[in-house]
Structure 1
Amino acid sequence: MSLDVSPDLLAAAQRGEVDDDAFVACVRESLPYAWDVVSSVAGAAPVPGSPTVHEVPPPSEAARGELLRALASDAIRGGLERHFGVVLAFQNCHRVAAFSPAGIEGADADTFDAFVSPRGQLLNQSPELRDC
């Protein structure tokens, strides 16, 4: 299970009323390590031409799982991007970057494209990250 959903939030979802702030709060409380990583890169206020990248491997398998769940879920990732006003990019088990939305079409376009490309993924491999 990815998120610890309160009965009130679950009831709201069953009625079709899902408040984005409540959803993001659920993510923050359920996935604290992932929240810390994303808030650290997004909180640095990426500006066009200067993406912020987190490259520290998670301290545990549980933390790694949180990061994977947060960034692999379209809903969670989208909620985080809307909340922080960034575009997130992800490689391996730990390399997370935050780009300015304006930057990925301007000053950061080449950097963003390189980060999310197959070439970028391959160049970010190493034996110690094999099982990450």
Structure 2
Amino acid sequence: MSLYVSPDLLAVAERGDVSDAEFVDCVRTSLPYAWEVINEVMTGLHRDGGDFADHEVPPPSDAERGQLLRALASDAIRGGLERHFGAKLAFQNCHRVAAFAFDAVGGEQYQAFVSPRGQLLNQSPELRNC
């Protein structure tokens, strides 16, 4: 299961739309490691005022790796986090997560990060199991 959904939030979802705030809070509490990593890159992006910030530290365990994979593999979760933090997320593997200012999407640095070349250059033998 990707998220722990409280009975109250499930009831809200059954009645209709769930607010981004409610959804993001569910993600934050269900996937604390993923939240920490994404919060770090988003905070770095906004603090430094640039177009790009990234995180390159491998997760400490398979459980944390799984959280990051679940958060970034879900369109709904990724989209909710992007709207909440106000920036685009990009993901190369189990540890390389980046945040880009929305107006930098399509730019040279973004294109390099999401390119096949960027993916291949970010591989190493110790990361093959992620």
Under TM normalisation by the shorter chain, which class is it?
A: over 0.9
Query: Normalised by the size of structure 1, how large is the TM-score?
Result: 0.93
Question: Take 1:89 and 1:72, find their aligned partners in 2: how far apart are those partners?
Answer: 11
Higher helix share: 2
Secondary structure at the counterpart of residue 65 of structure 1: helix
Please, which runs of 5 or more residues in structure 1 have no aligned partner? none
1:3 maps to which residue? 3
* CA positional deviation for 1:47: 3.6
Q: CA RMSD in A?
A: 1.1
Deviations 1:45-94 (A, max 9, x none): 1644x410100000010000000000000000000000000100001101
Aligned to 1:59: 60
Q: Which runs of 5+ in 2 are unaligned?
A: none
In 1, the alpha carbon distance for the partners of 2:8 and 2:63 equals 26
- Give aligned pairs, total: 128
Residues 1:21 and 2:21 aligned together: yes
Q: What's the secondary structure of 1:125's corresponding residue?
A: coil
Contact 1:28 1:35 in 2 (8 A): yes
**Which one of the candidate residues 104, 109, 124 is aligned to 2:122?**
124
Given that 1:47 and 1:99 are in contact with CA atoms closer than 8 Å, whether structure 2 keeps it comes out as no
Structure 1 residue runs of 4 or more that deviate by more than 4 Å after TM superposition? none
